[in-house]
Amino acid sequence: MTMQLVADELGVRPGLITHYFATIDDLLCDAFVRVVVREREALLPEAEAELPPVRRLSRLLRRLGGEDFVDLGRLWLNARHLSRYRPNLLRVVAEREAVMRDALTAVIEDGVRAGGFTTDDALGACVVILVAIGGLGSYASDDTRFTHPVLDTLLFTTADCELGLEPRRLGDGG
């Protein structure tokens, strides 16, 4: 990825890009943050903050399984890979992961307080759910689009188990 490639793709002169971004790393970091901020807002919209936590989590997991988030799975996968070689991107990816981890942990903690979830470790449950999300995201780059029924329910099954819910509770809409 170079400024020239970005400029060519946009049909502009490279100077226009460098006017706003000193380095390609700055551009990559800014673009990544903009996309994942919108992603988090779409996954856990503020308008749903008053819904019961079980319902909020069910909606989050359902959205993640939709086609709208396949490209975002690819983005996260690629950002994690590129961040191995780009320290600024590594920092930004870690910051954005922390924001999502905090938001999901807060939903789980709300659910525990409300009696909907049972866990002694909300952060641990959050991490397991996020690892399942990341694992499914790795299939986003699979051109053969491997499918199996277990992949359709994996996030719900994992979250139900981690949060002490009866099977299919989250998959049935909470």
| pLDDT tens profile 26-80 | 999 999 999 999 998 999 999 999 999 999 999 999 998 777 777 888 888 889 9
Q: Is 156 in contact with 139 (CB distance < 8 Å)?
A: no
Under the banding of pLDDT at 50, 70 and 90, the label for residue 142 is low
Q: Is 54 in contact with 156 (CB distance < 8 Å)?
A: no
| SS3 at position 35 | helix
Question: Residue 165 gets which letter from DSSP?
Answer: P
Minimal CA–CA distance to 26: which of 99, 89, 118? 89
pTM score: 0.87
Query: CA 123 to CA 98: how far, in whole Å?
Result: 11
Cα–chain-centroid distance for residue 129?
A: 11
Rounded to whole angstroms, what are the CA distances from 77 to 5, 19, 83, 112, 156?
Answer: 21, 29, 10, 31, 21
Minimal CA–CA distance to 88: which of 24, 37, 39? 24
